[in-house]
């Protein structure tokens, strides 16, 4: 079958597509809610199309695809295939070993790390080394940070020489950074905003810009800390997503794992035998497959965690979910209640 004919015959369902060259090498893996529409878009004449994509299209000789029931499954399968095949034209999710942590030690302060051990304190993993480097430089420039009666205080160091900091101040500075990251990012950001406005009024724009950059870094960190908090709690999520007018997909999610998934016909939830079987399956998962809580988020799981977390909390997606635990008496009733909300 010729390439153009194959493209015209692609399904209109969610799934992933894999672009191949004449040697059958996978050039690119992508996902879409509408496979045919997305793949055809690569072959339209478009001045705004990136040069990288234009080059790739000239090498495409074949396209494979895998259909999924939902977009979430397509996203997760895309991630898996990118890691497996390392396609030339994919940039993201190829190498989680490049992700890094912000390491904190009382006597040495902040540093960048690519691995963790149980005896140290870490934040992350972060996908951007640049962000971690900028955070370290920012906190070094306002060392030492003090904290008294609920108020933070610090001075900007024009010449950054941390050798003058004694051990006591170093420990105080490090402890306060941990407090800021774990509890007080919003509060500390307000301090930075006051200083930024003050220096802007004094026409000290370089100093104001420094504080503005610090605010932006901490806002990124705040979003990430929210994600980390949700993830480390390892909550069990019961989620449903419509497939078509006759069926939906049920997911039981914990951390970076889909513990259970099943395509269910709407009509079957009125069948007591089918409902009893579903209840039994869900109860077995809850009682036997609960994951242990980890002290750190592993780099190997960060891409999948972000996919699941972002999908769950994206209000544009049709998926609905609730948090559950072993105390939930009737899971099938929870499923029915979720479906009623569509």
Give first-to-last CA distance, the chain, whole Å: 41
pLDDT of 198 over the 60 cut: yes
Q: How far is CA 87 from the centre of its chain?
A: 21
Please say whether the beta carbons of 218 and 144 come within 8 A.
no
With the CA atoms of 239, 244, 245 and 251 taken in that order, what torsion angle do they form, in degrees rounded to the nearest 10?
A: -20
Cis peptide before 144 (omega within 30 of 0): yes
Per-residue pLDDT tens digits for 291-330: 555 666 778 888 998 899 889 888 788 888 888 765 665 6
CA gap 165, 167 in Å, rounded: 7
Average pLDDT of span 134-162: 87
Query: If you average pLDDT over residues 132-143, what whole number do you get?
Result: 93
- Token look-up 């190498």 returns 95
Compute the distance between CA of residue 322 and CA of residue 158 in angstroms, rounded to an integer: 50
**pLDDT surpasses 80 at 42:** yes
The pLDDT, as a whole number, for residue 261 is 93
pLDDT at 340 over 80: no
Enumerate residues 6+ apart whose C-beta is below 8 A from 66.
15, 16, 77
Q: Name all contacts of 288-297 with Cβ < 8 Å and 24+ positions apart.
A: 289/254, 289/259, 290/236, 290/254, 291/234, 291/254, 291/255, 291/257, 293/232, 293/233, 293/234, 294/232, 295/118, 296/101, 296/116, 296/122, 297/124, 297/125, 297/228, 297/231, 297/232
- Quote the pLDDT of residue 314: 82
pLDDT band at 271 (very low <50, low <70, confident <90, very high): confident
Which CATH architecture describes the domain 3-94?
3-Layer(aba) Sandwich (3.40)
What is 109-129 written as a DSSP string?
EEEEESS--TTSEEEEEES-H
Q: What percent of the chain clears pLDDT 70, i.e. is strictly above it?
A: 91
Residues with Cβ within 8 Å of residue 147, at least 6 apart in sequence: 153, 172, 176, 179
CB 171 within 8 A of CB 106: yes
Domain boundaries in the chain? 3-94, 98-232, 236-340
Summarize the confidence of residues 141-150 as an average pLDDT.
92
Residue 35 is predicted with a pLDDT of 96
């Amino acid at each position: 079958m010729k390439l153009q004919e194959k493209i015209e015959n692609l399904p209109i369902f969610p799934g992933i597509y894999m672009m191949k060259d004449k040697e059958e090498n996978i050039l690119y893996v992508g996902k879409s809610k509408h496979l045919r529409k997305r793949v055809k878009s690569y072959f339209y004449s478009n001045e705004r199309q990136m040069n990288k994509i234009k080059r790739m299209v000239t090498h495409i000789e074949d396209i494979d695809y895998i259909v999924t029931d939902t977009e979430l499954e397509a996203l997760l399968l895309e991630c898996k295939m990118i890691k497996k095949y390392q396609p030339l034209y994919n940039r993201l999710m190829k190498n989680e070993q490049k992700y890094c942590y912000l390491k904190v030690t009382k006597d040495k302060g902040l540093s960048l790390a690519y691995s963790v051990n149980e005896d140290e304190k870490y934040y992350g993993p972060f996908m951007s080394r640049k962000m971690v480097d900028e955070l370290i430089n920012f906190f070094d420039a306002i060392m030492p940070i003090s904290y008294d009666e609920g108020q933070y205080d610090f001075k900007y160091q024009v010449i950054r020489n941390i050798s003058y900091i004694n051990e006591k101040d170093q420990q105080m500075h490090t402890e306060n950074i941990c407090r800021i990251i774990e509890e007080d990012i919003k509060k500390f950001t307000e301090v930075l905003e006051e200083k930024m406005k003050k220096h802007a009024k004094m026409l000290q724009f370089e100093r104001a810009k420094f504080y503005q950059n610090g605010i932006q870094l901490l806002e990124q960190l705040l979003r990430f800390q929210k994600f980390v908090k949700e993830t480390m709690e390892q909550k069990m999520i019961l989620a449903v997503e419509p497939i078509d007018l006759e069926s939906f997909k049920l997911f039981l999610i914990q951390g970076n794992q889909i513990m259970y998934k099943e395509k269910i016909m709407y009509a079957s939830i009125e069948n007591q035998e089918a409902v009893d079987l579903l209840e039994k399956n869900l109860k077995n998962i809850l009682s036997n497959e609960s994951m242990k809580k980890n002290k750190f988020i592993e780099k190997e799981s960060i891409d999948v965690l972000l996919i699941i977390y972002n999908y769950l909390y994206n209000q544009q997606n049709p998926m609905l979910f609730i948090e559950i635990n072993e105390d939930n008496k009737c899971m099938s009733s929870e499923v029915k209640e979720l479906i009623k909300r569509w």
